[in-house]
Structure 1
Amino acid sequence: MPKRRRESKEERLERKLNKYKKKCERCKRRKDEHSKDNRNENDVGDIVESIESEEEIILENIEPEEEEEVEIMEVKEEHLEEDIIEAMGPPISTESSYGQPIHPEIYKRVEEAPLLNPELHMIQESEKTRDKKIENRQNLLGLATGTILKCVDNLTKQNFNKLDIIKNMTEAARILAHLHSEDTVIRKNLLIPHLDKTISKTLADLKRDKFLFGEKLSECVKSATILQKSASNLLKKSIPKPFKPRQNSTTKKLLSPSTSKDPEEDVQGNQNFQRPATKVQAPAVTRSQPHKQKNYRQQRAKYP
């Protein structure tokens, strides 16, 4: 707590002088704003003259005085009453920690958010899930807002219960802390899909502090990559099988008489082998070209 010091005489007189100046300005302002009222302007002038005369008297009475030693006064901290401390509830932790999820019983007093129209239930399931999450957030915000407004309404009354107000404000603070924690999880879920898949699970389990993924993010990533490499070395590596080309029926018949892979050698060794007949397309013959038909007959005679 800052320490107070005793106010000197000059400062006290200067403060009074500023007070009279403000009063004079206020009187002039009233004269301009309320010109329609039936007030006597001479009274306002007398007030201004009296204030100016008082200022002159105060300035004449100011005398230079010697510097006095400043007395240091210690301000004691006020302790809260026991009933107020009980109404606020026990502290969660002395260390800096982050809020836990709100109890489901608190949701019963929530101010309901607008529901989704029944005509829009044909949208995708992912869109429905996202809309439901936003609806729950609206419900919690409505609960916190309603609780705070209830406390404000109680404060406007003459006879209000101080303990009830403290309880309601504590509940509203816990709800807002819960929403703050949920926003942290949402930020993580939006960033993790754009990072490496091998360390996504490690990043999801990290706890926040000053940074979103913690101050020791680089160390956790290094340890995760080393662990993954050691695990891959322990696994049995599968040996790929050699590629075998697929053989059709004609190739199998040609390769069956001998072990040779050349089909021409097998054809020469097998005297009973008959080459399959090939179809020769007849050329287009016209009346002006009879020699083409003769050549075609000669070619057909070679291949019975």
Structure 2
Amino acid sequence: MGKRKRDEDYLLKKLKKIEDRLSRRRNEETNSESAWDHEEDPIAMDTEFGSDNASAVAVKNIDTNTPNSLPTGDEEIILDEAFLTLLGDAPKDESVAGPNIQKDIAARLREVIKNGLKKEQKEKILEEYPFPANCQLFRAPVLNPEIKAAVSDLLQKKDSSIEARQNQTGVAVTALSRALNILALEKSETNQILVKHISNASRLLCDSHCIDTRLRRNFLVSTLNNKLKETLKDTKRDKFLFGEDLSEALKATKAISKSSQDLKNITTKPKPGTSRSQPSGSQNFLNLKSPYPGVQSRKPVPSSQRATGWTPPVKNQARRPQTQPSSARGTARFKHSARRT
């Protein structure tokens, strides 16, 4: 860091020295009536001003002698085809702009696009255009009570927000339909052009209304029972999102599922590790192991011996260790030692 600081100070001093020399030189040129010879070699001035300011004087001479040698930033250079070929293919602008809208109309629509309508303005417009009696499908479909009881509160709020947007789209279609009714009374070439534009806008809004309906159905069906998904997808919307006959469709699906289970041939599979048929008699206990090592498991008593109370003796049965009092253990040790002697 110290070396860099010294280098910067040195360069600043050099630059200040060059600027002082140039300013003195300009003052001398202003006071004197003679001018510099433009053909003089700028490097020759190095003997008077030193080698540090030679490059600065050379730049000054270039700027004064050839002012138009380099283009300025305001000038536009036109490139030839050969140079453009070397640069490669030019990017294509795929966006196509339509004709401009009247500036007052455009300003108001841009404001709504950026900030939306105020609550009072929106409510006023929605009340002004009630849905037509013969086009009640402009209204957003209501969520079926059966589905509403089966989904969470979060999904219900999400569905309600999309439903409100659908109602607003339906009001927009209603307003455009009124304009079409007025134009339909008078047939003229101008009216035909207006009818075309208004009809296109109405159909696009109706398509958005249909897309929102599909969106609501799809995210609700994805959270319900998998066995009923196909039944829910086959339903058609009316004033309800899944149709008025949803209850009958669900009952029919459950009845069909129950009937199919009754018709199937149900076979019970044995549990792993167990035999299919349990043998009778004494073979049931042949594979049983004794809980004590070295002790043979006792065989079952036949029915003929069970009546008399006789049981066969067990061979090679290891005796379990028994605990004895301390006096008995001492007597046993004494007897054992006496036998050895």
* TM-score normalised by length of structure 2: 0.29
* TM-score normalised by length of structure 1: 0.31
Look at both structures and tell me which one has the larger radius of gyration over its CA atoms: 2
